[in-house]
Amino acid sequence: MTRLALEGVLLFVPTPHHDERGFFTRTFDAALAAEHGLDPAAFIQDSQSRSRRGTIRGMHGRSGRGEAKLVRCARGAVLDVLVDARPGSPTFGHHLTVLLDDETFAHLYVPPGLLHGYQALTEADVCYRIDREHDPSEDLAVRYDDPDLALPWPLPVGAISGRDLSAGSWAGLCDRLGT
């Protein structure tokens, strides 16, 4: 387990076992999660998305209590992007990127209060383990290409949803958060 530059963000990298059949890896270990301060029982929903190369999903977050999640790439590779949107955080407005792929099987723990998105570097399946039911009234979104954030997307944009294209600005979110 590695602690990353944004407070509370953790990266878990399992040890896959390879042989002539392929591989086996553990995708979640409740005891290991608890050892690093996470409540394994808090994760109540698992979701999966499949994206074509170049697709961007994000930048999404939740208001209120926020939403914690464990994110992993089960097939292919994505550049995962986080932006700290927690007022009062010493890293408020900072971002970090993490490569998630089907070779390292790394799991990214995203604490509440962060914006999250990714770009598919290949066709990719991304799995999310989430700690809250979805409440659309709490959805937050900032455009992936907001100039104030200047996020480092490595590929030309492939597909992106209409919802993500109509997302607000970082400045607008900051106003909404009272920062």
Whose structure tokens read 């920062």? 179
| Cα Rg of the chain (Å, integer) | 16
| Catalytic residue, candidates 95, 109, 128, 134 | 128
Residue 109 catalytic? no
Residue 128 catalytic? yes
| Catalytic residue, candidates 17, 18, 36, 60 | 60
Helix (H, G, I), strand (E, B) or coil at 172: helix
Q: For 14, how many CA atoms within 13 A lie in the half-sphere containing its CB?
A: 23
Whose structure tokens read 């200047």? 150
φ, ψ for residue 126, nearest 5 deg? -115, 135
Q: How far is CA 177 from CA 20, 64, 84, 140, 143, in A?
A: 53, 11, 12, 11, 16
Triad 34, 35, 37: Cα angle to 5°? 60
**Which residues does the annotation mark as catalytic?**
60, 128
